[in-house]
Chains A and B, each alone.
Chain A
């Protein structure tokens, strides 16, 4: 039998691999990109670049945790974005415009969950919704982006304590989300619904409610991403940012989970998103074509999932080995017990 140490090493890599990767890249890029990369200003720039994809990653992550891959996220964000711009241009108060943008996203989430719970494949439903929302967004603007509304720099590029506002938005989402998932009853049941809805059902909990919550949280966060995008780009763009789907999904995969649902940690998803932003930053600094970033994101997605699968297989193998050893031992115990009984007679 192999040393049990290798099992804990595998588990350690799965748990902390992304944090180690972030630190290693940071060290390496600081040397390679000296003297620009390692500065605080560049850190702030990285956070600004990462903010929107981080929020998108949270939207994707919430879907994945609850057991579905929500592909409609970019479309929902685009719809929220143009609705916000349209409202602001029509003179609707800013707070109400925000409410409209988020409410529309929540409706999209309810729509997704309605058809998924009736048994249609969620991938198909959310691709359909992606198409519907993107089309609806373009209908609202009649094609081109909407601009000319009051700038919202306070939500985007303004610096507070040296860090951009939009990063704080992401931070607040991740803190609230993490507290919800790890500290509350609803969060625990939410994860359980993603892991084994049947177990939840047999415990007398309405598991479908938490499935709906998964879609609504995913869509709601997509709405927030749409709002921040609108503030950052100062326009309501009906074109869905499908690359946000790729980076978001890659960040989730980098956090060390399979996409099967029921497990995962938001802080690690955030580190995953920051790893991608690090890479984008160094490509910028070294004047390398940004298209490499897209290639690398895809490679990271597949690589991370492959690594996770390999680790999972190894872990299962070890657990089965341990179980067999246990069964063998108890078979011996049984034989011994029977022999003792025979002798007693």
Chain B
């Protein structure tokens, strides 16, 4: 087994109890920089819970989280963000009344130069240009950056939310991106867009953990598949070594757990 410091993210023996319920049972997971791991499983298998542990929303009962080989402890989402982990939530958390540029650059607005900048005046033109550049880099199609995001279609809104996290994660050296059902409620064209965005993130050496029900998406983007079933990891296999039927078998529990993961 490779040295753990080569991994962007590694989880060792993660347990999580909700009262008497064991929501996560001794989960080990490694994600290398530039690798996309699909986290699959039926509803209630524990995949969203695991994502919340990584993003700092839940604290594990036992186990260690390592980021680039260094053990970390997250008390809230901000801690994990500081460690270079960005999460795209299913509820997109956009400011509806404001435009794409403002939403993309929320919290890191570009100020004007000179005295006006010191007074906190923003440079709208520079922000629009920066947003345009970032959006183009990710290959997102958005008609106009000046329209309030409430007027955008579902796919474009998803694109804005993804782009916001993606840009933040791309700025950090060797970031980690967590995606929670990024294609739920998207049309075909929009799905293709998200797919390409994920591939581009991996190509930029970003580690991606993708929680999804969308098996075609997982097969087209992920390097590795990890399947959870009733809070245990039952499969951890390179995408090229498995098939759709095998994965479905693990998800439903029809297939026995892999050995020596």
Contacts and interface: CB of A to CB of B under 8 A. Distances in A.
A191 B106 contact: no
A196 B189 CA distance: 28
A192 B95 contact: yes
Given A198-B93, A323-B154, A192 B106 contact: yes
Nearest to B77: A202
A321 B149 CA distance: 16
B96 A262 contact: yes
Interface stretch (A28-36, A145-153, A223-231, A331-339): A331-339
Nearest to A318: B151
Interface string B119-153: 11110000000000000000000000000001101
A198 to B, nearest CB: 5
Contact of B93 (A189, A196, A263, A329): A196
B98 A191 contact: yes
A203 interface: yes
A177 interface: no
A62 to B, nearest CB: 16
A331 B191 CA distance: 11
A120 interface: no
Query: At the interface, is chain A mostly helix, strand, loop or mixed?
Result: helix
B94 interface: yes
What is the size category of the interface that chain A forms with chain B? 20 to 34
Nearest to B78: A204
Interface residues of B, number: 31
Given A199-B93, A200-B106, A184 B187 contact: no
A205 B106 contact: yes
Contact of B120 (A186, A196, A202, A334): A186
Contacts of A184: 119-122
Contacts of A334: 187-188
A244 to B, nearest CB: 27
The 10 A-B residue pairs whose C-beta atoms are closest, nearest first, are A330-B187, A203-B107, A334-B188, A330-B188, A263-B97, A199-B93, A184-B120, A203-B106, A195-B95, A192-B95
Given A185-B109, A202-B77, 16 more contacts: A183-B121, A184-B119, A185-B120, A185-B122, A186-B120, A188-B102, A196-B95, A199-B94, A200-B106, A263-B97, A322-B153, A323-B153, A330-B187, A333-B187, A333-B189, A334-B188
Interface of B: 77-78, 81, 89, 93-98, 102-103, 106-109, 111, 119-122, 150-151, 153-155, 164, 187-190
7 contacts: A191-B97, A199-B103, A202-B89, A205-B106, A262-B95, A323-B153, A323-B154
